[in-house]
Homo-oligomer: A and B are copies of this chain.
Amino acid sequence: MNQNYIKADNWSIIEEGFEKGRVKSSESLFSIGNGAMGQRANFEEMYTGETFQGSYVAGVYYPDKTRVGWWKNGYPEYFAKVLNAPNWIGIGVSVNGEVLDLNRCKKVSNFRRELNMQEGWYKRTFTVTLLNGLEVQAEILRFLSLDLDELGAISYNLKVLNTDAEITFEPYLDSGITNEDSNWDDKFWNTTNISFTDNRAFISAHTMKTNFETCTFMQAYLDYQGEAVSGGVGAETETTVSFTFKQKVKAGETITLTKFGGYTVSRNHKSGHLVDAANRVLDKASALGFVELLEKQKKAWNNIWQMSDITIEGDVKAQQGIRFNIFQLNQTYLGTDSRLNIGPKGFTGEKYGGSTYWDTEAYCLPFYMTTKDDTVARKLLKYRYNHLEKAIENAKKLGFSNGAALYPMVTMNGEECHNEWEITFEEIHRNGAIAFAIYNYYRYTSDYSYIPEMGLEVLIGISRFWHQRVNFSKEKGKYVMLGVTGPNEYENNVNNNWYTNYLAKWCINYTLEQLGKVKDGYSEDYSRIIGKTKLTDFECEHWKEVADNLYFPFSEKQQVYLQQDGFLDKEMIKVVDLPKTERPINQKWSWDRILRSPYIKQADVLQGFYLFEDHFSKEELERHYDFYEPFTVHESSLSPCVHSIQAAKLGRMQQAYRFYLRTSRLDLDDYNKEVEEGLHITSMAGTWMSIVEGFGGMRVLEDKLSFTPQIPSQWETYSFKVNFRNRIIKVVVTQDKTSFELSGTNEMSIRVNEERITLLPGKIVIV
């Protein structure tokens, strides 16, 4: 593994040189997206080598029939799969009849890719000697517009170096595409209509079963010597439509094919009007032209960076890493649509059916709360509110009643997309993360309105679930929660996972508290909610009984909460004492061996200490950290960030920095040799957390923003911006000081290293 493959650069991701074996990985790394659609960095022209084709439209999925070895009652029959959508980027190219194909040619040189994150575009340049001996130079620039989020644009520039030649361009659309990941080789798309005009073409197709209607469209024009070349000849097959342009060009002169393309979908337009909508998009695009669209793109990305950028000086690779993470999060989700969410692979691959994990609430929400305005985080919460009925149905399937809600482990439309019993049925702490996000949103934004309007109903459904999920143990004289899987998925079907029990207790108490607040302050909402949920005082008392008498495994000897019942019966050999050859254990060990070992995949008890930091003393944190971290193998990309934040809090900056490094360039340096499948989008938010919450020490304490800034010794300075309750603060940390700068008009009081400081607008305060 060459971990220096990607060139270090502050603002761009750069690849130099052409390696066929890296094509699929680079297709992931150079993916582009605009929150509404995404495109892997597939070549426009023909490529007969190994490739993983992917073009994705947000919210367009297919319910693939579940495949399991052994069926368990309760498994979903179908689950939503991320769909590869019809190809809009394709451009066939040939020179004097010889097809341009980087897999079948004499030589490729000067191959270079650049993903310019600052401006939001992707460029590919290369020189190729074709099989017929002609030397051709290409520069292709592509972007997905933030302004017109149904539009992508390509400028394909070609030069024949050694002779005059006839060039043929054949821009096309193709709905005869497949998914790599299909359980039963179902056909996912049905093409219903293909049409073309002078220079525009349209393929109407709908997804099978879900019947999402889509119009894939394009417009193409050719320029040579400063003039438009007329006369692309249209043609269609059963699943394709294309224009053929032929033009003789002089040696060394550039010819440019511009292609606009993209999708209009029935989620956003009336059925039957998708071609009209596509025409309107193309009207706008051609009125502006490629150059103007690109200028707007740069401005739009500049706006995003204004608020979300983290600068790091003294370490280019760290700078590149964090910007790549922030860039990808913004490519994936921009908070414009509460029906969408943040898939673990974003728009960069198919892996993992469905799109929404508890990652959204536990890892992504803080990023979006801090770098966008409140409406974005609120949309993420609303997404779950909209799925409440489905979560109640889901719980019903598993035998729960009375409006108990179990949110799915992973979902697209609210239905469960996961089918491993130990996860699907047992990794129920996800419910807690969804409840915690409601609390976290209010704590951060002070927008209470979400709770009476929507959040309280979610909390009631979740509390009902916890209440039914426990049982009273006569043996212990306490309520116990049997048969669960915690965040540490290297334990399955355990009893009394401390983290899950703690969340359950907190959920119930928080719900009861909010019931009181809503009753007092929002009586209309209260009546509506009580009417709808039929919640009684009697039921609340029962909840309380459970919360007050829930069991928590604790070791008197070690003075730590135990991850679960019986944890100390394991063979407690620390990770550091394991032979290197045995790791990663998820590749080297059989599943049963992993399960009976003490090794922890990602923070579990410590995840609880992260969420509820203010419930525990620093000494307690330190004791639990020192007990659990040595058994933690961090084999989930979501593990290091929590530990980095806690190490920083404990003043262990070297260790905090080591954890930070483990995820900041996870994909760029392809640590796990799997980047070809797509990027780890949600863990990128964890990297952001490591800096802002870990090094910066940002918290909300007693209703105030608080910082305890530290800086890794490897860096000169770093900076980030925070939007807290519509007040924007820029924080710059150097090796010897931290400066705070407040925008806006009103002063604001914050805490830094436990001391209160007042920030005045426009004035830099140095600590």
A interface list, Cβ under 8 A from B: 66-70, 72-74, 397-399, 419-422, 425-426, 471-476, 480, 482-483, 492-493, 495, 565-566, 568-572, 586-596
Further contacts, 20 of them, CB under 8 A, given A72-B591, A474-B572: A66-B69, A70-B419, A73-B589, A74-B590, A74-B592, A398-B593, A399-B593, A425-B590, A471-B569, A471-B570, A471-B571, A471-B596, A473-B569, A473-B570, A480-B569, A482-B569, A482-B570, A492-B493, A493-B493, A566-B566
List chain B residues, Cβ under 8 A from A422: 493
User: CB < 8 Å: which of B419, B569, B593 contacts A476?
Assistant: B569
Known contacts A68-B68, A69-B67, A420-B69; decide if A425 and B592 are in contact (CB<8 Å): yes
- Let me know if A571 and B472 touch, CB within 8 A: yes
**Which A-B residue pairs are the 3 nearest by beta carbons?**
A74-B590, A425-B592, A483-B596
A565 to B572, CA, bound (A): 19
Known contacts A73-B590, A425-B592; decide if A495 and B569 are in contact (CB<8 Å): yes
Could you pull out 23 A-B pairs where Cβ atoms are within 8 angstroms? A67-B67, A68-B68, A69-B419, A70-B419, A72-B591, A73-B586, A73-B588, A73-B591, A397-B590, A398-B590, A398-B592, A398-B593, A425-B590, A471-B569, A471-B570, A472-B571, A474-B568, A476-B569, A482-B566, A492-B493, A493-B493, A565-B566, A566-B566
A398 to B591, CA, bound (A): 8
Residue of B nearest to A592 (CB): B425
A565 to B492, CA, bound (A): 15
Known contacts A569-B473, A570-B482; decide if A493 and B72 are in contact (CB<8 Å): no
Of the candidates A483, A565, A594, the one having the most CB atoms from chain B within 10 angstroms of its own CB is A483
A436 to B72, CA, bound (A): 32
User: CB < 8 Å: which of B70, B569, B592, B593 contacts A475?
Assistant: B569
A275 to B644, CA, bound (A): 73
List chain B residues, Cβ under 8 A from A594: 73
| Copies of this protein, total | 2
A14 CB, nearest partner CB in chain B, Å: 36
A429 CB, nearest partner CB in chain B, Å: 14
List chain B residues, Cβ under 8 A from A425: 590-592
List chain B residues, Cβ under 8 A from A420: 69-70
- Let me know if B596 and A482 touch, CB within 8 A: yes
List chain B residues, Cβ under 8 A from A66: 69
A590 to B592, CA, bound (A): 23
Residue of B nearest to A565 (CB): B566
A24 CB, nearest partner CB in chain B, Å: 21
Known contacts A492-B493, A565-B565, A571-B472; decide if A590 and B399 are in contact (CB<8 Å): yes
A727 CB, nearest partner CB in chain B, Å: 46
List chain B residues, Cβ under 8 A from A480: 569
Of the candidates A67, A493, A572, the one having the most CB atoms from chain B within 10 angstroms of its own CB is A493
Residue of B nearest to A582 (CB): B399
List chain B residues, Cβ under 8 A from A72: 590-591
A60 CB, nearest partner CB in chain B, Å: 23
Residue of B nearest to A425 (CB): B592
A592 to B471, CA, bound (A): 14
List chain B residues, Cβ under 8 A from A68: 68-69
- Let me know if A473 and B568 touch, CB within 8 A: yes
A277 to B420, CA, bound (A): 50
A311 CB, nearest partner CB in chain B, Å: 41
A493 to B596, CA, bound (A): 9
- Let me know if B492 and A592 touch, CB within 8 A: no
List chain B residues, Cβ under 8 A from A473: 568-570
A570 to B586, CA, bound (A): 32
Residue of B nearest to A397 (CB): B590
A399 to B579, CA, bound (A): 14
- Let me know if B399 and A566 touch, CB within 8 A: no
List chain B residues, Cβ under 8 A from A69: 66-69, 419-420
Known contacts A69-B69, A69-B420; decide if A592 and B483 are in contact (CB<8 Å): yes
A579 CB, nearest partner CB in chain B, Å: 12
User: CB < 8 Å: which of B570, B571, B591 contacts A421?
Assistant: B591
A425 CB, nearest partner CB in chain B, Å: 4
A493 CB, nearest partner CB in chain B, Å: 5
Of the candidates A399, A419, A571, A591, the one having the most CB atoms from chain B within 10 angstroms of its own CB is A591
A592 CB, nearest partner CB in chain B, Å: 4
Residue of B nearest to A494 (CB): B493
A149 CB, nearest partner CB in chain B, Å: 34
A722 to B476, CA, bound (A): 51
A465 CB, nearest partner CB in chain B, Å: 12
Residue of B nearest to A567 (CB): B475
A570 to B483, CA, bound (A): 10
A290 CB, nearest partner CB in chain B, Å: 45
A633 to B569, CA, bound (A): 31
A72 to B593, CA, bound (A): 11
- Let me know if B421 and A566 touch, CB within 8 A: no
List chain B residues, Cβ under 8 A from A591: 72-74, 421, 425
List chain B residues, Cβ under 8 A from A475: 568-569
A116 CB, nearest partner CB in chain B, Å: 38
List chain B residues, Cβ under 8 A from A419: 69-70
User: CB < 8 Å: which of B483, B493, B495, B587 contacts A73?
Assistant: B587
- Let me know if B67 and A589 touch, CB within 8 A: no
A318 CB, nearest partner CB in chain B, Å: 34
Residue of B nearest to A492 (CB): B493
Residue of B nearest to A69 (CB): B68
Known contacts A70-B420, A592-B425; decide if A495 and B587 are in contact (CB<8 Å): no
Of the candidates A68, A69, A425, A594, the one having the most CB atoms from chain B within 10 angstroms of its own CB is A69
List chain B residues, Cβ under 8 A from A569: 471, 473, 475-476, 480, 482, 495, 565
List chain B residues, Cβ under 8 A from A592: 74, 398, 421, 425-426, 483
- Let me know if A595 and B495 touch, CB within 8 A: no
A680 to B399, CA, bound (A): 30
A425 to B422, CA, bound (A): 15
A419 to B593, CA, bound (A): 16
Residue of B nearest to A591 (CB): B72
A255 CB, nearest partner CB in chain B, Å: 49
- Let me know if A595 and B472 touch, CB within 8 A: no
List chain B residues, Cβ under 8 A from A471: 569-571, 596
